Amino acid sequence: MSYSLKNIKKSNKAEKKFMATFTNKENGREKVIHFGAAGYRDFTLLNNKSSKFYIEDPKKRIEVRTAYQRRHMKDLNTEAGRSGVSAGALSFFILWTGKTFRSGLTNYKKKYKL
C-alpha cells in the first residue's frame, strides 16, 4: 500500500510524544501512528539546551545516537519500516537523525520521498 503523510502533531496518548497521520492513496483511509516514548530522551532533546536530557559534549550525543540507531536498525527491515509507515521508522528518522525535530522530519521525508 502507498501512503502520503498528512500531518504530525503532539500525541493524544500520554505515553507517546507524537502522532503521524497518513492517508492511504488507494482508498483514502487514514492511518494514525503514535511514536516516541514520552519521558524518554531522543537526539532532538539531547541537543536542546533547555531539555533535561541535554548532553553538553557533542561526541557523547553522537555516541548515544549511534547506540540507538544500532539497536533499532531492525525496525527499518519490516514491511512497514521499509515504507516509512511505522513507529520505528518515524522515531528512527525524525527523533534520532537530526539535531532538531524539523531537520529529522526533513530526513524522514527525503528517505521516504514524501
What pLDDT digit, counting tens, does each position of 66-95 carry? 999 999 999 999 988 899 999 999 999 999
DSSP 72-111: HGGGGGSHHHHHT-SHHHHIIIIIHSSSSHHHHHHHHHHH
Q: How far apart are CA 87 and CA 26, in angstroms?
A: 21
Number of domains forming the structure of the chain? 1
pTM score: 0.94
> Which segments of the chain have a pLDDT < 70?
none
Q: How far apart are CA 113 and CA 84, in angstroms?
A: 10
pLDDT at 114: 86
Question: Range of 40's domain?
Answer: 3-111
Q: Which residue has the cell 501512503?
A: 3
